[in-house]
Amino acid sequence: MLITKTIQGLLIPVSLLLLLPSETVAATLGICYGRVANNLPPTSEVVNILKTNGISNVRIFDPDPVTLQSFSGTGINLMTGVPNEVLPSLASGTPASALQWLQTNIFAHIVPSQIRYIAVGNEVLLKDPFYAPHVVPAMVNIYQALKTLNLDNTIKLSSPQAASVLSKSYPPSLGAFNPSLRSVLLPLLNFLRETESPFMVNVYPYFSYTSSTSNRISLDYALFRSNDMVQDGTLMYGNLFEATIDAIVHAIEKEGFAEVGVIVSETGWPKGGGEAASVENALAYNENVVRRVAGNAGTPKRPGVGIEVYLFDLFDENGKSGDECEKHFGIFGLDGIKAYDLRFNSAN
């Protein structure tokens, strides 16, 4: 089936959009608002922090009613998550029950026009593989519910995955999905192609660097400041962020889904709690990500194709489990003052 999109009255195959000038694809910068903490400011104050800093796109990880109500009418666009543990009931139900879930948990608290994406699960294949078989069936039911409301063209569905879904990522042209995950990823990619929705991936060069064996990944390469370029055929890579995205793109194309775009649903760098985790490095990393979004730079494989990126995280989350650094990704302090001088408004 040929997927087309109407631009200025013309029906254009989606696959050809990759060849159009950069201005046809707008780069968007957002931020993740994680709430695994017991000391966060009220959401009403959070909204003021976001507006003061010109941030108009936010990812939340669950449809908390108070959070949604606080964002309602603010003009801030949301990506809202469906928790992993909800997937089985949505998958085993019907479009009608999915519609009831949407109405009760999301649209009763915020107008649909402020919802850009619904992220169905998060890193299911990495964190909760038990739920993996339920991802696409849940998405299908939610999609049918959105069609009932005539919202299927304005609210897109995806399921953010960790970059570890790749079994090969170096060089990027060898990017390939883990064969053991194809039974879930191929139906997901097919759904995304049919609904003209993006593949969402969480990209963390920090963890790639700290888990790298034999120092194959240098800190400078992870922080966008390497003088040594990685050559991959005719393309040159100076940082791990773009190399990871292009490895995902190559993996998607190898499965026959070149029409599917990519969104970075999380990326960031901790400012404490681990090796190479510092304010200076967090600023260096996030500043370079913002600069690339603002410049609509794309990647070496898809130059000029703007990448939508969500920085992680708005605040530190003192309730996070795992390594100590997991608690220290916050770009803002609890008082709303930036932990470091990162400027957002140049990207939107």
> How would you label 198-209 residue by residue, b for 16+ Cβ within 10 Å and e otherwise?
bbbbbbbbbbbb
The answer to whether 339 touches 49, Cβ cutoff 8 Å, is no
The answer to whether 78 touches 110, Cβ cutoff 8 Å, is yes
Burial bucket for residue 184 (CB in 10 Å: 0-12, 13-18, 19+): buried
- d(C-alpha 78, C-alpha 300), whole Å: 29
Q: Does 194 participate in catalysis according to the annotation?
A: no
- d(C-alpha 131, C-alpha 166), whole Å: 19
**Sole residue written with tokens 């003009």:** 75
Tokens for 115? Answer: 């919802």
Residues, the chain: 348
Q: β-pairing, 309-311 with 262-267?
A: parallel
DSSP of 128-156, one letter per residue? -GGGGGGHHHHHHHHHHHHHHTT-TTTSE
DSSP of 186-242, one letter per residue? HHHHHHHHHTT-PEEEE--HHHHHHT-GGG-S-HHHHTT--SSPEEETTEEE--HHH
Which is the catalytic residue, given 23, 45, 85, 123? 123
Tokens for 72? Answer: 């309602």
**CB neighbourhood size of 174 (10 A):** 15
Can you state the angle between helices 182-194 and 135-148, rounded to 10 degrees? 20
Which is the catalytic residue, given 242, 259, 266, 317? 266
Q: Does 123 participate in catalysis according to the annotation?
A: yes
The set of catalytic residues is 123, 266
